[in-house]
Amino acid sequence: MASKTMINLTRMSKVFQPMTTGLPDTGEKTEICQSHKLMINYGIIKPVSIGMYALLPLGMRILNKFISLVDKEMTNLGAEKILLPALTSTSLWKKTNRYNSNKDELFTVKDRHEKEYILSPTYEEAICDLISSTGHISTKLLPLRLYQISSKWRDEMKPRLGFLRSREFIMKDLYTFDSNLDNAQSTYDRVCESYNNIFKQIGIKYEKVIGDVGTIGGLVSHEYHYISDVGEDTILQCPSCHFSINQTISKTTSCPKCKNELQQYNAAEIGHTFLLNTKYSQPLKAMYMEQNEMKPMVMGCFGLGLSRILMLTVEILSKNNEIRWPVKLAPYTVCIIPPKAGSKEEGASNYVERLFEILCKRDIDVILDDRTDFTIGKRFVFARALGYPYIIIVGKASTRSIPLFEVHDINNSVYNELSLEQISHYFDNINFKN
């Protein structure tokens, strides 16, 4: 009879992971990249229509880990989590003069009363309407920081490159409200530092650049980018002081600080911050009360493209048709591979429970490749391809008088043979927590 700890062990044979050796025919030609192909082929996502994807169980685990990381950072920032309706009345967008200028990219629907709604690509109008509907806000509540993690929609003319340019995507939106511009600037700086913390935990080098306010508007804007050949932006950066700016708003090719020639990089945007001032709060009456006077709150909005970031981590880290995940985002941190059924080492399968207990005590998530009709070698190749950061093999060395187990650190290409006691110390020295 299985122990209580083993009952909770995820078995690979039970995971819904439809895999393919090629991309499905969607009826339209679409530009693809390595991450797009790998995530489909290995059952992380599945195309359901042009520019729209289902997140499969492993994909959902990765997303939920990312959400947990973001939630913790937002809590540290003092932000509160909400969820707004996906549909926003077009009347709100008309009040801010954004409806006509963005109409070509909006999905719109009408209800039975002929009232028109937008499948929201962004939520500035919706959050201001929510604030306005609650009446005036007391200064005691300021600064107010509200965020959500939800789907957003854009009717892309040519969806391509998976989540890099999709019609439905997942974002974290934070909206902040302050009493004046100085306080709003202080909030803006704090949120940017919070974003720095999130990207540092992911562990991929990122660039913060002066950005274009675009159709969102506002006084100040910064973009976060990963340098990548699949990126659709071009950023300019000084090799000395690292001054960085989006090429679309740069009026010079030399650094304004140290006069060096700016270097050009292809980059993919993963986050965007805006100091909005009162662009939305004024027309939509998101007000606060001060000395018996109603005043519009000064806003900031801050977006993180979660689905886009997940895709780009695969694009940047993966190699040789093998996915690589940052340790904190991998679907499972450790994959255990027991001996092949009928092999000389089959009796060592009893150690799987001990290994699982060691990892479970450290709150490390584990998947067992219980498909023992396959060789250890074949399952090892598969686990590497899926990007599990650590693989523990119960092989020949496990039959020695002091049993040893192969521990593979895949991301760092390091291999050790360790005893059960050594494995305990090994995983004590690795930071898996968000």
C-alpha triplet 391, 394, 397: angle, nearest 5°? 120
Model confidence at 251, pLDDT cuts 50, 70, 90, reads: confident
This prediction has a pTM of: 0.94
Percent residues over pLDDT 70 in the chain: 95
Q: How far apart are CA 241 and CA 257, in angstroms?
A: 8
C-alpha triplet 301, 307, 313: angle, nearest 5°? 110
Contact 65/202 with Cβ under 8 angstroms? no
Strand order in the sheet with 287-290: 137-138, 287-290, 293-296
End-to-end CA distance of the chain: 34
Q: Alpha carbon 311 to chain centroid distance?
A: 8
Looking at residue 17, its amino acid is Q
Residue 303 has pLDDT above 90, yes or no: yes
Q: How far apart are CA 168 and CA 356, in angstroms?
A: 38
Looking at residue 336, its amino acid is I
Q: How far apart are CA 425 and CA 434, in angstroms?
A: 20
Contact 257/251 with Cβ under 8 angstroms? no
Q: How far apart are CA 56 and CA 196, in angstroms?
A: 29
Residue 1 has pLDDT above 70, yes or no: no
Picking from 283, 304, 270, the residue whose alpha carbon sits closest to that of residue 91 is 283
- The two domains 4-9+332-428 and 34-317 share their CATH topology (first three levels equal): no
- At residue 4, the pLDDT reads 55
Model confidence at 30, pLDDT cuts 50, 70, 90, reads: low
- Phi, psi at 398, each rounded to 5°: -75, -10
Model confidence at 25, pLDDT cuts 50, 70, 90, reads: low
Q: Which option is the CATH number for 4-9+332-428: 3.10.180.10, 3.40.50.800, 3.50.50.60, 3.40.1380.10?
A: 3.40.50.800
Which secondary structure element, helix H or strand E, spans residue 272, and what is its range? strand 263-277
Q: Domain boundaries in the chain? A: 4-9+332-428, 34-317
Q: What is the pLDDT of residues 148-173, one digit of tens each?
A: 999 999 999 999 999 999 999 999 99
Positive or negative CA dihedral for 226, 218, 250, 252? negative
Q: Write the burial class of residue 107 (CB in 10 Å: 0-12 exposed, 13-18 middle, 19+ buried).
A: middle
Residue 138 has pLDDT above 90, yes or no: no
Paired residues of 286 in beta bridges: none
Contact 173/150 with Cβ under 8 angstroms? yes
Residue 27 has pLDDT above 80, yes or no: no
Q: How far apart are CA 185 and CA 354, in angstroms?
A: 53
Q: Which class does domain 34-317 fall in?
A: alpha beta
Which secondary structure element, helix H or strand E, spans residue 150, and what is its range? strand 144-153
Q: What is the pLDDT of residues 190-247, one digit of tens each?
A: 999 999 999 999 999 999 999 998 889 999 999 999 999 999 999 999 999 999 999 9
Residue 26 has pLDDT above 80, yes or no: no
Q: What is the pLDDT of residues 264-276, one digit of tens each?
A: 999 999 999 999 9
- Reported for 233-237, long-range contacts at CB under 8 A and 24+ positions apart, including other chains, are 233/266, 233/267, 233/268, 233/269, 234/264, 234/265, 234/266, 234/267, 235/207, 235/209, 235/264, 235/265, 235/267, 236/262, 236/263, 236/264, 236/265, 237/207, 237/209, 237/262, 237/263, 237/265
Mean pLDDT of all residues belonging to the chain: 93
- Name the 3-class secondary structure at 413: coil
Most confident of 18-22, 32-36, 96-100, 184-188: 184-188
DSSP code for 107: E
- Phi, psi at 342, each rounded to 5°: 85, 0
C-alpha triplet 419, 421, 425: angle, nearest 5°? 110
Residue 57 has pLDDT above 60, yes or no: yes
Picking from 23, 124, 76, 33, the residue whose alpha carbon sits closest to that of residue 313 is 33
The residue count for the chain:
434
Residue 5 has pLDDT above 70, yes or no: no
Tokens representing residue 304 in the block: 């993180």
Residue 24 has pLDDT above 60, yes or no: no
